[in-house]
Amino acid sequence: MADLRLLTIYWRDMLRFVRFRGLLISSLVQPALWLAFFGIAMSSSFDVIGSQIPAEPGVPQVGYLTFMCAGVISMTTLFTSLFGGMSLIFDKNWGLLREVMAAPMSRANIVLGTGLSGITKSIIQAAIILGFGLVLGVQFFAGYTPSRAVLAIAGILAFVSVFALGFVFLSAAIAITMESPEGMQGIMTLLTMPIFFASNALYPAQAFPPALQLAAAVNPLTHMVTGIRFFAIGPVFSAIGQTFRYSVADIAVSFGALCLFATVMFLVALRQVRRARVT
C-alpha cells in the first residue's frame, strides 16, 4: 500500500509535467540552444587554442563541444531538479497539499514520490540532450563496442539519477517553507549560478583560483560532470590543451559523494515536510 501511495504522488507529478507543454518544451529547448550556439561558437575558439599546445602521445583528443556537452547535460539536470519541488508550492496554494498530508500515508512518500518524478524528468531530458549532441558531432562513445556503449549510457544515467535526486530533495525542502512561486524561483536562480559556474562544467577546475578550486571539489555538479566524462569520453583524454585522467577510484568517490549528498538532502526534506503546517 505504501508503494502504491508513493507511485500516486509520482504519477500525479509526471502528468503535470507532460500537460504543461510550455514548461516541457522550454526545459528542452534552452539547453539544446545552449549546446548549439554557445558550444559551437566557443568550440571554434577553444579548439584553435588547444591545437597550439602539443598533446601527449597516445592520448585521444576531443573538441571543446565534446568537453562541454557533459556540462550541458549536467546543467539541464540541475535546472530541472532545482525546480522539481515547485509543485509543492502550487499544491499548498491550491489547497491540494492539505489533502495529501491528511491522507493515511507516511510523509516520506511525498518526498520520495517527488524525487522519483524528478529522476524521470532528468533522465528524459538528459537522453534528449545526449542525442542532440551526437547529431551536432559530439564525440561521445568514440571507438566503443555496442556493449561498452550500453554500459557507459547506464553509468551516465546512474550519475544523472543520484544527482537529480539530491537536488529535488533540496528543492522540496525549500519549497515546503515558501509561500509564493516567485520567492522560490528567486532562490533557485540564486543557487543555480554559483553551483554551475563553480564547477568543471565549462572549464577545467584546475585553472580556478584556490578558493574556487575548493568550492569545485565539494560541488556535486563537479562530481556529476566527472562521471559523465569518464563514461562518455574515457578515462584519459585531452581537451583545450589539457590532459584529463580519471581512475575507477575517482569515479567511485564521485558517485559516493553524490549518494551522500542525496541522503543528506532526503533527511533535510523529510524533516521539513514533517514539520510543515498546511492550513
- Chain segment 29-87, per-residue pLDDT in tens: 777 777 777 777 777 666 656 555 666 677 888 888 889 889 889 988 998 888 877 77
pLDDT(130) > 60: yes
Radius of gyration of the chain (CA): 20
How far is the C-alpha of 192 from the C-alpha of 181, rounded, in Å? Answer: 16
**Residues linked to residue 242 through DSSP beta bridges, in sequence order:** 239
Q: Where does the chain show beta strands of DSSP type E?
A: 236-239, 242-245
Better-scored residue on pLDDT, 183 or 215: 215
User: 259 with 162: CB under 8 angstroms?
Assistant: yes
**Residues whose CB falls within 8 Å of the CB of residue 249, separated by 6 or more in sequence, listed in order:** none
- Does residue 159 come out as left (phi exceeding 0), alpha (psi in the -120 to 50 range) or beta? alpha
pLDDT(163) > 80: yes
pLDDT(7) > 80: no
How far is the C-alpha of 195 from the C-alpha of 222, rounded, in Å? Answer: 9
**Residues whose CB falls within 8 Å of the CB of residue 89, separated by 6 or more in sequence, listed in order:** 175, 178, 179, 180, 181, 184
Cell of 133: 549532441
**In the predicted model, what is the mean pLDDT of residues 110-125?**
87
- Please give the pLDDT value at position 204: 86
Among 218, 205, 222, 181, which Cα is nearest to 87's? 181
- Please give the pLDDT value at position 233: 94
- Please give the pLDDT value at position 146: 93
Residue 27: Cβ within 10 Å count: 19
How far is the C-alpha of 140 from the C-alpha of 133, rounded, in Å? Answer: 9
How far is the C-alpha of 170 from the C-alpha of 267, rounded, in Å? Answer: 10
Better-scored residue on pLDDT, 7 or 247: 247
Cell of 279: 492550513
pLDDT(10) > 90: no
- Please give the pLDDT value at position 1: 42
How far is the C-alpha of 118 from the C-alpha of 112, rounded, in Å? Answer: 10
- Please give the pLDDT value at position 101: 65
30-47 in b/e form (b: 16+ CB < 10 A) is: ebbebbbeebeebbeebb
